[in-house]
Chain A
């Protein structure tokens, strides 16, 4: 049977873990040790009472590698469940970005106008700069950042993707 790599796919996985020291290191160590890609990784405690955290990982690989990543994650002892959101249906994916733009005159006005069009919030400003807060899909943020480049883009901070499955049930 042919086992050579076929085409790469991007998958978003939601990993429910015990919120204990070292659990993120286990997940990251697994990815680096086995040579898997991390396109984006976010983590935060989501259920305080139950000591649960949710790690959202976006990764790229052949279908065989994606299957491996899921099984390898499930093998880690403090992991409750691994859900490949891409397999279970198009997940809701959002990212938050903070974008700092400095400039004066026409460029500054243009930056603000575009921010309104993209529904970005101004969260800090002076006569020489804005910091925009923006939530959205990956490509929306990327497009906005691209537009800000000629208008005096200084720096960008992004959270990485948080994702959740569609419909009324939990994963």
Chain B
């Protein structure tokens, strides 16, 4: 039954009816009526951030660690433009969000009013969909639609821009069940014939590999379980993108580690040499494929994806299956069971033997040092000391992110929150705020770099206000490490502006924020310092001083093929010089 209420009340009612428990936001003139309605209810708890970008990243962390839709509330103009980086990040990584933005009153739209911006215009290319609500009687429907669009199909961020007069106006409220979308109908069930063909191809493969991505995690816990079941039924090797870590347990013997630019040697070599590739919920991103015309040249490719536009975008595939990962995997298992294919033991044995040969290369090895903490060691010790905890890891972007992906081993999905597609420095700290909000008793660690974390450092204040004991584990090398590494490889070691000459004292900074600062400078200090960090029930800034010029290996130089990796232990000056072709230099 339709009820009459103000636009602002409709917003709060819709959020409550959509099951929103937490909303991340920042008030301002154009959202004051909504903040007033927020003040007068208990269903939705508001977390006041220190910058709107932080609100969106926090909501992303919240969404990724729970599988729910993240909610954001910001004001017009700068509130909306500050949210743009987070929205783009969520679009690139397919994270479901609903971001409500205030707007100047409808009669002022287009007049260059104070704190006016064309929010729907600006956010059109960085959202899955957006709305400007001009009539209060559309508001409830639009909000419910926004949640539906955000979480179904390939998830993504949705903006609902609400002018201030619409927030004040009275209109009728409809509940979520009455919303049917006119045009938006994502396809979730894969084509049966294609699924049967996929089983045929996998059954006949001599050198198969599973290559999985964030789509498996986005699909939900069922997809993860089904993936594990199917991969174990077949006995075939599996690798995953950065976004997909945790869908398959890293401790499993079928696991080859992450693939791609900084993936493992065995994963990339297996991708290059396989004869059947089964892509589940990944998108052949350029970090994964390397040189396109040399990408896995001899394989037949099966691509399972919910988004038809991911099919044949970068790499031509032989068998596309459009559908939800969980549904398609369930059908694959059903058809596989009915068929019970005879495994080609000889071929698969030879394939695993080849893989074991690549594994023996120990591609993640690095030269240990006694005098200085190697960043890889820092992540390894962090992993060893925290792996038995209920732990969630976020990261910033750069070398530390890749070391985290290589050395922190994930057994479960939704435990790893990192900015993959957009590569947003400053993502990890606010994301940790969101994760901790959703999981108050868990150990939430942001594996950070000192340059990235300074971009959103102000959110420490949010963590202190809401007593969120997030741990910011900073691998501090005083460089923008990945920029420095590329300058070393590509630009003759001319470290143009990648060294931060002035940094805050992170221990004192922690004290200024009224949380706890810990510093580790020698390998011998590391374990005790990490244990101290874990025992503190407050937010911690952990300043881990690491080797300043360590590089992240192995690496597929840009523009090169999977089977042309640079390894960390034996790179000579000449190899570095020759590693990247002129063509590769223009790539990012």
- Bound CA–CA A78/B292 (angstroms): 33
B residues near A25, Cβ cutoff 8 Å: 121, 124
Which of A3, A21, A26 is B293 in contact with, Cβ under 8 Å?
Answer: A3
* CB <8 Å contact, A29 and B183: no
* CB <8 Å contact, B183 and A78: yes
Among residues of B, the one whose C-beta sits closest to the C-beta of A63 is: B312
B250 in the interface, Cβ–Cβ < 8 Å? no
A: contact size bracket: 20 to 34
A residues near B114, Cβ cutoff 8 Å: none
* CB <8 Å contact, A29 and B308: no
- Bound CA–CA A115/B312 (angstroms): 48
B313 in the interface, Cβ–Cβ < 8 Å? yes
* CB <8 Å contact, A77 and B129: yes
B residues near A72, Cβ cutoff 8 Å: 309
Q: How far is the CB of A61 from chain B (nearest CB, A)?
A: 13
* CB <8 Å contact, B308 and A74: yes
B residues near A1, Cβ cutoff 8 Å: 297, 301, 315-316
Given the known inter-chain contacts A1-B315, A71-B308, please indicate yes or no for A79 contacting B183, CB distance below 8 A: yes
A2 in the interface, Cβ–Cβ < 8 Å? yes
- Bound CA–CA A80/B185 (angstroms): 10
* CB <8 Å contact, A33 and B309: no
B253 in the interface, Cβ–Cβ < 8 Å? no
B: contact size bracket: 20 to 34
A residues near B311, Cβ cutoff 8 Å: 71
* Number of A-B residue pairs having CB atoms within 8 Å of each other in the complex: 54
B120 in the interface, Cβ–Cβ < 8 Å? yes
Given the known inter-chain contacts A1-B315, A68-B309, A71-B311, please indicate yes or no for A77 contacting B184, CB distance below 8 A: yes
A18 in the interface, Cβ–Cβ < 8 Å? yes
- Bound CA–CA A143/B237 (angstroms): 62
Q: Mark A19-43, 1 if CB is under 8 A from B, else 0.
A: 0011001100100010000000000
Q: Mark A72-88, 1 if CB is under 8 A from B, else 0.
A: 10111111100000000
- Bound CA–CA A26/B123 (angstroms): 11
Which positions 1-60 of chain A face chain B at CB distance < 8 Å?
1-4, 18, 21-22, 25-26, 29, 33
B242 in the interface, Cβ–Cβ < 8 Å? no
Given the known inter-chain contacts A22-B120, A22-B124, A77-B184, please indicate yes or no for A3 contacting B315, CB distance below 8 A: yes
Which of A21, A29, A78, A79 is B132 in contact with, Cβ under 8 Å?
Answer: A21
Among residues of B, the one whose C-beta sits closest to the C-beta of A26 is: B124
Q: Mark B503-514, 1 if CB is under 8 A from A, else 0.
A: 000000000000
A residues near B309, Cβ cutoff 8 Å: 68, 71-72, 74-75
Which of B149, B292, B308 is A77 in contact with, Cβ under 8 Å?
Answer: B149
B144 in the interface, Cβ–Cβ < 8 Å? no
* CB <8 Å contact, B183 and A2: no
- Bound CA–CA A97/B60 (angstroms): 51
* CB <8 Å contact, B293 and A4: yes
Given the known inter-chain contacts A18-B182, A71-B311, please indicate yes or no for A33 contacting B125, CB distance below 8 A: yes
A residues near B132, Cβ cutoff 8 Å: 21-22
Q: How far is the CB of A63 from chain B (nearest CB, A)?
A: 9
Among residues of B, the one whose C-beta sits closest to the C-beta of A30 is: B125
* CB <8 Å contact, B124 and A18: no
B465 in the interface, Cβ–Cβ < 8 Å? no
B307 in the interface, Cβ–Cβ < 8 Å? yes
- Bound CA–CA A74/B313 (angstroms): 14
Which of B183, B301, B312, B316 is A80 in contact with, Cβ under 8 Å?
Answer: B183
B272 in the interface, Cβ–Cβ < 8 Å? no
A residues near B124, Cβ cutoff 8 Å: 22, 25-26, 29
A67 in the interface, Cβ–Cβ < 8 Å? yes
A residues near B149, Cβ cutoff 8 Å: 77
Q: What would be 13 A-B contacts, judged by CB atoms less than 8 Å apart?
A: A1-B315, A4-B292, A22-B120, A22-B132, A25-B121, A25-B124, A29-B124, A68-B309, A71-B308, A75-B307, A76-B129, A77-B184, A78-B183
Interface residues of B (CB under 8 A from A): 120-121, 124-125, 128-129, 132, 149, 181-184, 292-293, 295, 297, 301, 307-309, 311-316
7 smallest CB-CB distances across A and B, nearest first, come from A71-B309, A77-B129, A71-B308, A72-B309, A77-B184, A1-B316, A80-B183
